[in-house]
Structure 1
Amino acid sequence: LAIKEQIGDSIDIAPLYRYLGQIDMEEGKITSAQEYFNQSLSFAHKHRLLPDISEAYYSLSLVHQKQGDYKRSFDAYVSYTTYKDSLNSSDIARLEMQYEFEKREKEQELLTKQREALQEAKLERQRVVLVFFIVAFLLVGLLAGFIFYNYKEKQRTNQVLLKQNNEITRQNREIESQKEEIEQQRDFVTKQRDQIADQQRLITDSITYASRIQSAVLPGEAMMNRLPWESFVFYKPKNIVSGDFYWATKLVDGRILLAAADCTGHGVPGAFMSMLGITLLREISGKPEVTNPADILYKLREMVIVSLNQQGGKVDQADGMDMSIAIINPDTLEMEFAGAYLSAIVVRSGEFNVSSDSINPRISQLNDISLVELRGNKMPIGHHVSGSQPFTNLNITLSKGDMLYLFSDGYVDQFGGERNIKFLLQNFRSLLMDVYPLELNEQKQIIANTIEEYKGNRKQVDDMLVMGVRIS
C-alpha cells in the first residue's frame, strides 16, 4: 500500500484499505478497522469505483454492527445494496446498447448493399435476371446468418440475465436473513437494557432507603429545637446519601456540643464513614470524662484508626474524616473549639476582644460587623503522617446576638461562575457577614440560592453542609 501511494499507482488502493480493515476487525481492532474502511470508501468515491464503493459500505455495515450501532449498520447496508443493484442495472443497459448498435450496423450494411445492387441493375439491365438471383441468394444467406447470429446472441444474453437474476435472488435472501439476525440482536439489547434499568432501580431504592436511615440518625428538627438557641442546617448531599454529617447534643455537665464533619469520599462510601463517625461521636460524647473538643477529636481519632484497622501505619490508608467541634456553656457563653482541618466562624455586631497570642484567629471587619475564623489543626481524624499529635483547644467568649457557623469544605470548593473556579473561603466569609443580621430561615435560603446560582448548570462536586446557631 505504501509503495503504491509513493509511485502514484491508484490500482487496488481501495481494496487494499478494505483488506487491512478486515484484518483489524478479525483481531478485534474495531476503531482501526473502521478508519481503513472509511479510507477505502473515500478513495472509491473519489475515483468512481462502484464495486469498491459497494464493498466498502458492506464492510462498514459489519463494523457498526459489532459496535452495537445498528442504525448506522442498517444505513450502510442499504447503501451497499443500492450500489450493488446499480452495478447490475449498468451491466444490463450496456448489453442492450451493444445489441442495438450491432443491429443498426447490420441494417446499415444491408441498405448499403441494396443500393449498390440497384445501381448495378441500372447500369447492366441485360444482366438483371442473373444479378437478381445472385442478389436474392446473397440476401437470403445474409438474412439467415443475421437471424442465426441474433438467436445465439439472445441465448447468451438470456444466460447472463438468468445468472444475474439468480445472484440478485440470493442477495435478497441474505438481506432477509441478516435483517432477522439484526432484529434478534436488537431484541437482545433491549432485554439487557431493561435488566440494567431494573437493577439500577433496585440499587436506587436501596440507596434511598439508606438515606432515610442516615437522616434518622442525624439530629432531627426536634433535637435542634431543644437547643437553647435558634439554629439552621443547610445540608445538600452530592448523591442520595452523604459523606457529611452534623451532630448536636447536651453533655452530662449541661454544656452543648455542636459538630460538623466531612468524611472521606461521598455517596455510599462517604455514608458508611459518616455512620461510623456518628456512632463513635455519640459514644464519646456520652461519657462523663469528656472535657474539651481537642480531647474528643483525639479519642475519636484513636477509635477510627482501630475501627479501620489502620494500626499498621500504612500511608495509603487515607480513610477518615475532617471535623470541627464546638462546646458552649449556655450560662457563661464560654466556647471551646477544636478542628481537624475544618474551621469555625463567629460573626457579631461590634469588635472581638481576642488575642492572637492565645488563639489563631483570622479576623475580618465590614462596617460594624466583625468575623473571626477559628482554624483547626492540619490533620484529619484517621491515620496521618503527623502521628498522634494532640489537637489544639481554642477558647472564646461569645455574646448574645453572635452567629456561630460550622461547615464542611463542599460549599467553598464548588466550581462555578463565569471563570469556572471555586467559590472560595473568602467569598463564603463575605456571604456570612452579609446575611448575619437576617433571620435564620432567610440566611439558610440565601446561602442555598447563592451556591445554586454560582454553580449554574455544572455538577455538584462534593457534599455541602453549613450549620448556623444564633447565640441568645
Structure 2
Amino acid sequence: MTDESFLADVFNLLDILVAERGDDASFQLLGTVPECLKPFFPQAVPGKRFRPEENSPFLENFLIDAEDCWTSENTEPLKSGAWAESDDQGNSCELEATAIFSGKRKLLLVEPARYSQKEKQFFIQKSRELSLAYHRLEQTEAELKKSKEAAEAANRKVMESIQYAKMIQRSLLPDPDRVKCYFPHSFFIWMPRDILGGDILFFDSFEDGIVGAVIDCTGHGVPGAFMTMIASSGLRRIIRDEGCRDPSEILRRLNFIVKTSLQQDTGYALSDDGMDAGIFSIQPAISDQKTEKQTTDAYSLTFAGARLPLIYIHNGEVCFIKGDRQSIGYKRSDLNFNFTNHKITIDKNMSFYIFTDGFTDQLGGERDRRFGSRRFRNLLKENARLPFEKQRDVLLQAFNAYQGENERQDDVTVAGFCFDELIFGKCVW
C-alpha cells in the first residue's frame, strides 16, 4: 500500500473527501467518497475526473479564491467556512471545504461541518460574553486589589493606634518592682483577651498603709480600655486627692463618679456600662514610731467588694469572702448603696487572692465547661505554700491547659500576696 492510498483511507475514515485539481480545472478523487458525502457528490467516482462545484454555487465561488491560493503557492490552508448543501432528495447538510497547496499539488478537502452555523454563532456569542466577563473580572480584581490595599493601610493605622493605646493602658498598671517593696511575696496576672483589656489593677501607698484594687469593667478590647481609664482616674481622685482609705467608701464614691461621668443617673444616658471591683486596704493595728519595719501581727486587711470576692488561705483552710451583689456605675446601680467592709487580722503566712471572673468563666476541659470557682479554690489551696512566682506559673499552666484550643472568654486578672513583712513609706507612686 502506497503512502497516498493509506492517507486516502485515513481521510475516508474521518469523513473527508479529498480531490486533486488538475490543469483543466477538474478534480481527480483520491481514495473514495465517505458514505455521508456521497449524496452531495454523486459525480465523484474513483478513476474518473469530476467537477465538485457543479450544482454548488457556494463551492464554485470558493474555488475561485482557492485557485488564487494555489497559484500563489500559499502553504497556509484556506478554509471556506460552513455552508448548507442539499442532495437530490432534499436532505440538507452543512459542509466545509479547505484548499491546500502541498508539494506542488492542489488539494481540495470537503467534510461535514463539525459544528452547525447556529452552533458556531452560539459559540462565538458565548466567547464574546466570556471575554467581556473576563474583562469585567479583571476590572473587579483591580478594584478589589485597590480596596484591599486601602483596607490594609487603614487596618495598619488602627492597629498602630491600638498598640500605642496598649502602651498607655499598661502605664496605668502598678510597677511590679515598686509593688515588691510592699509585697515581697506576691504575683500578678494581667492578660487582656484582646490587645487592650477591660481589667485594671491599682495600688497606692502611704506612710501608714496601702490601698489596692482589682476592677473588671464592662466589655473588653477598646470599650473596656476606655472604662479602665475612668476607673483609674476615679480611684486616684478618691484615694489621693480626697484622702479616702476606707474600701466601702471608695466603692461608694467610685459608683457615683462612674454613674455621673457617663450620665447614667439621667434619662439622657446613651450607655449602660459599669464595673465590678474588689478594694482592700492594709493598715497597722498599732503604731511604732521607732521603726518602719513592723511584724505581721501589727496589721489588718479591710476588704469590700462590688461583686468581686476575696479568697484568703490560713492554716490550710480556704476562706471565701463574697462581694456585695451590687455593681458600680450602671443605670440600675444604687447611688446610695453602702458597701460592706470585711476586716481580717493578718497572720503570718496568710495568703490573699483577688481576681476577676475571666479565670473561672473560661470554657474548656473535656466537656467544654467553665473552669469554675471550686476548681479555682482547690488550685489555690494545693499550691498556697509554694513561692508566689511559682504559684503564678502553676495558675497560668492550669489555665492554658484547660483552655486548650478554645478562645479566651474574657480578660483574666489575678492578684496574690502574703505578709511575712510589710514596709511602709518607702515607695510612693
Fold agreement, TM-score > 0.5: yes
Structure 2 CA distance for partners of 1:447 and 1:100, relative to 1, 3 Å = same
Partner residue in 1 for 2:275: 321
Question: Does the 8 Å contact 1:313/1:383 carry over to 2?
Answer: no
Change beyond 3 A, Cα 1:94–1:209: farther
Does 1:238 pair with 2:193?
yes
Distance 2:245 2:130 in 1: 82
Is residue 370 from structure 1 mapped to residue 317 from structure 2 by the alignment? Answer: yes
Q: Structure 1 residue 212: deviation in Å?
A: 0.4
Q: In structure 1, how many angstroms separate the alpha carbons of the residues matched to 2:116 and 2:372?
A: 80
Aligned residue identity for 2:234: L
- Structure 1 counterpart of 2:327: 380
Conserved 8 A contact 1:327-1:335: yes
Which one of 295, 304, 313 corresponds to residue 347 of structure 1?
Answer: 313
Q: What is the root-mean-square deviation of aligned Cα atoms in Å? A: 3.3
Q: How far does the alpha carbon of each residue in 1:379-399 deviate from its partner, in whole angstroms, 9 at most, with x for none?
A: 111135462221011111121
Question: 1:37-63: per-residue Cα shift (whole Å, max 9, x none)?
Answer: xxxxxxxxxxxxxxxxxxxxxxxxxxx
Structure 1 residue 211: Cα displacement: 0.6
**Other-structure match for 1:333:** 299
Confirm or deny that 1:413 pairs with 2:382. Answer: no
TM-aligned CA distance change 1:465 to 1:322, over 3 Å: same
Question: Relative contact order (alpha carbons < 8 A, sep ≥ 6): 1 or 2 greater?
Answer: 2
Q: Structure 1 residues 345 and 178, CA, compared in 2 at 3 Å: closer, same or farther?
A: same
Contact 2:259 2:331 in 1 (8 A): no
Rounded Cα–Cα distance in structure 2 between residues aligned with 1:204 and 1:436: 40
How has the CA–CA distance of structure 1 residues 192 and 386 changed in structure 2, closer, same or farther, with 3 Å as cutoff?
closer
Cα offset for 1:313? 6.3
**In 2: Cα distance, 1:104 partner to 1:453 partner:** 84
Match of 1:310 in 2: 264
Q: Are the counterparts in 2 of residues 315 and 383 from structure 1 also a CA contact under 8 Å?
A: no
Q: CA deviation at 1:217?
A: 1.6
- Select the residue among 398, 402, 408 that pairs with 2:346: 398
Residue aligning to 1:365: none
Letter of the structure 2 residue corresponding to residue 220 of structure 1: D
Note the C-alpha offset of 1:172. Answer: 3.5
**Structure 2 Cα separation of the partners of residues 105 and 313 of structure 1:** 96
Q: Which residue of 2 aligns with 1:268?
A: 222
CA apart distance, 1:107: 9.8
**Deviation per residue, 1:309-366 (Å, 9 max, x gap):** 0122689853111000111125522111100000011112x2xxxxxxxxxxxxxxxx
**Number of residue pairs matched?**
328
Residue number in structure 2 paired with 1:202: 157
Looking at structure 2, the residues matched to 168 and 345 of structure 1 have their Cα atoms a distance apart, in angstroms, of 79
Distance in 1 (CA, whole Å) between partners of 2:199 and 2:129 is 60
Which of 410, 413, 418 does residue 465 from structure 1 map onto? 413
Question: In 1, Cα distance between the equivalents of 2:331 and 2:321?
Answer: 22
Decide which of 213, 225, 250 is 2:168's aligned counterpart. Answer: 213
Residues 151-183 of structure 1 show CA distances to partners (whole Å, capped at 9, x for unaligned) of 789753358779455654554344333322212
Instruction: Determine helix, strand or coil for the equivalent of 1:401.
Output: coil
Find the aligned partners of 2:232 and 2:52 in 1 and give their Cα distance.
106
Does structure 1 retain, via aligned residues, the 8 Å contact 2:198–2:227?
yes
1: CA distance between counterparts of 2:374 and 2:269? 32
2:397 is aligned to: 449
- Mark the CA change 1:187 to 1:346 in structure 2 (over 3 Å): closer, same or farther: same
* Secondary structure of residue in 2 paired with 1:342: coil
Q: Which residue of 2 aligns with 1:185?
A: 140
SS at match of 1:226: helix
State the alpha-carbon separation in 1 of the partners of residues 236 and 410 from structure 2. 25
Asked whether the 8 Å contact 2:263–2:269 carries over to 1, the reply is no
Identify if the C-alpha distance between structure 1 residues 347 and 306 changes in structure 2 by more than 3 Å, giving closer, same or farther.
same
Cα drift, residue 228 of structure 1: 4.8
* Distance apart, 1:226 and its partner CA: 2.5
- Identity over the aligned pairs, expressed in percent? 29
Residue 244 of structure 1 contacts residue 463 of structure 1 at CA under 8 Å; is this kept in 2?
Answer: yes
Change (3 A) 1:275 1:101: same
CA distance in 1 between counterparts of 2:325 and 2:352 reads: 21
Paired letter, 1:399: D
1:315–1:385 contact (8 Å) kept in structure 2: no
Distance 1:249 1:106, change over 3 A: closer
Match runs of 1:28-427 below 5 Å: 100-101=34-35, 103-104=37-38, 148=54, 156=85, 157-158=94-95, 163=117, 168-251=123-206, 254-287=208-241, 289-312=243-266, 317-330=271-284, 332-348=298-314, 350=315, 369-383=316-330, 385=332, 387=334, 388-427=336-375
Q: Contact 1:404/1:471 (CA < 8 Å) preserved in 2?
A: no
